[in-house]
Structure 1
Amino acid sequence: MLVHICCSVDSHFFLEKLQKDFPQEKLTGFFYDPNIHPYSEYKLRLLDVERSCKKLGIELIEGEYDYESWLKAVRGLEKEPEKGARCEVCFDKRFLTSAQKALELGEDKITTTLLVSPLKSQEQLKHVGDDFHAKHGVEFIAVDYRSGGGTQDQSRVTKEEQLYRQDYCGCIYGLTMQREQQERLMDEMFSPISGQTLPASIEERLQLYTSRNELEDEGKAYRIVRQKFLNYRQFNVKLISGKKEIVDAHALSYSTLPRKRAQGRIEFAIEDVHYFNREEIKFITLQYFNDFFNTQYQSVRELIFNPPDVKKELQLREHICGFSYDLSPIIVVQHIPDTKLTLHIDAKLYEDTREKLIVL
């Protein structure tokens, strides 16, 4: 039996149940999910599914990540709600490819872990699966592992196995509507051109779960815990000298301006930290930055495109301001300007949670 797999939270519990209920069937996992966006999220879910299949002794095949063809398939359905017409087209695409893979492998049965997801309609899935059975001769096995306490068992397995628990189906359109309803920043879509790994980002989670797998390979015990914290995303920074000249400037993480704009002059300096006369803004030179970190940046532009880790930036913030929770703008420039300045910072602070890996 070919089992289409969407994520480890659904698949681990689902595959365990299939192994028990269909002991005569050789199960083969098929990870085909071109709907998942961004690609880093796709890689993270695949990483966790690979781990689950390895633990359960199930062969896993990865399908093509043909995201552009998926976008074409759902074009015009971007505003459809969860469980609506877009989902049906998405199922059609994934089921067709899964059915073709089953035929290629000589399998006459397929099923999908989507059946156990509370975000999906089982009736919708059964309808699409039965239609494919009629057209392609591959039987769709529509098991119901959600009822009779199944959802609670699935949650238990998720906790016991310390699986990656994503909170959206993977679809960018579903995520957009979900975050709008929650009035939350869609920070899953943030991927700085600098390559900097942001707190609670998909990239940070990918690093964490990769480390988790390495610990398991080494036989080391661990726990993954969640922690609340104040998160930060920076949209735009611009520094203007006089009326027109744009000055290259790098704002350290957690630099904020309540009204996104401040005008004024630098009034004085203490120990090479230059104090602005508005909004507790502080300026330092690139040389100051290099001396603190023992780095060799030649220009602020180079720093902008290749900044240090956020944790390191926070070390510099604490050094300058005296404590970690300071939100004053700290701006790195090549040379300290002696003119009227206009600083623009568009950034957002918000409550968030992140995962932490603890080696026992």
Structure 2
Amino acid sequence: MKIFLHVCCAPDLTVSYRKLVEQGFEPVVFFYNPNIYPLQEYSKRFEEVKKLRDIWGFQLYVGDYEPDKFLERIKGKEHSPNRCYECMKLRLEKTKSEAKRMNFSIYSTTLLASPRKSHDDILEITDNLDMEENPSFKYVNFRSNNGVHMAAQICKTYNIYRQNYCGCSFSLEESKRYEEESKQKNYKSLVEILGEELTQKYFKYYKKDLLRIPQDIPAKFLEKVGLQFFKYLKPQIILIKKEIAQDFNIFTSSRYKIDNWKGKVILW
């Protein structure tokens, strides 16, 4: 059975598409996201959806890019929680309208896969929409049974871009503000442990793509501060000599987690 599936982004589409197919549905994908800012980001996210289309072979439709409609809808609510509600409502209204025009009996949305979105809000919106006429909304909890982790794994398999903010200019500002606050918090935590001078020396590696040991961080220094040091620097990848890694009971290249930091450790 075909289902008209609104897609907000490729990462959320991955698990949504897989789970719908497992349930016997044939998703027809509809990309409509007038909230995404800037245009380059909109284009990038759409290209990632097309990448999945080329892999999985689903039908893909795209709505007009209408940022003015989004801005008009959220006017006066730009910095309110209601902004997200109105944004979802706008996209779901359009999805239902297109589904009706194309004679679909059911529709759904990948917003249900996003850990940032409220299922209660989505159901309230769609319940009100479905009071009028068909098509009807199909609710699936795409986040259940490790759905978020599954999406991350599929993105890794197909090298899918994973954005770090919801989409609109306001969420981008909020994301940047949160990132700066997080950076300052980690800096202050390191100062308490190392002092100002050493923190300034090593904090230049904060969130660096590749951190090398011993080239960037001397082995003797790491012995003093321990592996907890990395949770403040949060590197993506740590490249460490085998003989040094063994001193910390690390014997294989793998992903490691220390508190709220996760990164890949590669032995050489």
Name the TM-score class by shorter chain: 0.5 to 0.7
Match of 1:16 in 2: 18
1:189-248 CA distances to partner (integer Å, 9 max, x unpaired)? xxxxxxxxxxxxxxxxxxxxxxxxxxxxxxxxxxxxx9359xxxxxxxxxxxxxxxxxxx
Match of 1:252 in 2: none
Q: Is the 8 A contact 2:106 2:135 kept in 1?
A: yes
1:18-49 CA distances to partner (integer Å, 9 max, x unpaired)? 1111x2x4321000000000000000000000
Q: Which amino acid aligns with 2:17?
A: L
1:111-149 CA distances to partner (integer Å, 9 max, x unpaired)? 000100001111111111121111232211110121222
- Write 1 or 2 for the structure with the bigger share of helix: 2
Partners of 2:103 and 2:54 in 1: CA distance: 23
3-state SS of 1:136 partner: coil
Q: Is the 8 A contact 2:8 2:111 kept in 1?
A: yes
Q: Which amino acid aligns with 1:5?
A: V
Partners of 2:26 and 2:102 in 1: CA distance: 12
Match of 1:227 in 2: 209
1:36-86 CA distances to partner (integer Å, 9 max, x unpaired)? 000000000000001112211110001000101110110111111xxx211
Q: Is the 8 A contact 1:99 1:136 kept in 2?
A: no
Partners of 1:129 and 1:92 in 2: CA distance: 8
3-state SS of 1:135 partner: coil
Q: Is the 8 A contact 1:4 1:98 kept in 2?
A: yes
Q: Which amino acid aligns with 1:89?
A: E
1:293-328 CA distances to partner (integer Å, 9 max, x unpaired)? xxxxxxxxxxxxxxxxxxxxxxxxxxxxxxxxxxxx
1:86 to 80, 83, 88: 83
Partners of 2:60 and 2:136 in 1: CA distance: 20
List alignment gaps of at least 5 residues for structure 1: 185-225, 230-350, 354-360
- Write 1 or 2 for the structure with the bigger share of strand: 1
Cα deviation for residue 96 of structure 1 reads: 0.9
The 5 A counterparts of 1:235-274 are none
Match of 2:130 in 1: 133
1:175 paired with 2:172, answer yes
Match of 1:120 in 2: 117
Q: Is the 8 A contact 2:15 2:147 kept in 1?
A: no
Taking a change above 3 Å as real, the CA distance of residues 100 and 155 of structure 1, as seen in their structure-2 partners, is same
Q: Is the 8 A contact 2:35 2:70 kept in 1?
A: yes
Query: In percent, how many aligned pairs have the same letter?
Result: 28
Match of 1:2 in 2: 4
Q: Is the 8 A contact 1:108 1:137 kept in 2?
A: yes
TM-score, scaled to structure 2: 0.65
Over the residues paired in the alignment, what is the CA RMSD in angstroms?
2.0
List alignment gaps of at least 5 residues for structure 2: 182-207, 212-233, 237-268
Match of 2:48 in 1: 48
1:107 to 104, 109, 117: 104
Task: Name segments (4+ residues, structure 1) moved above 6 Å.
Answer: none
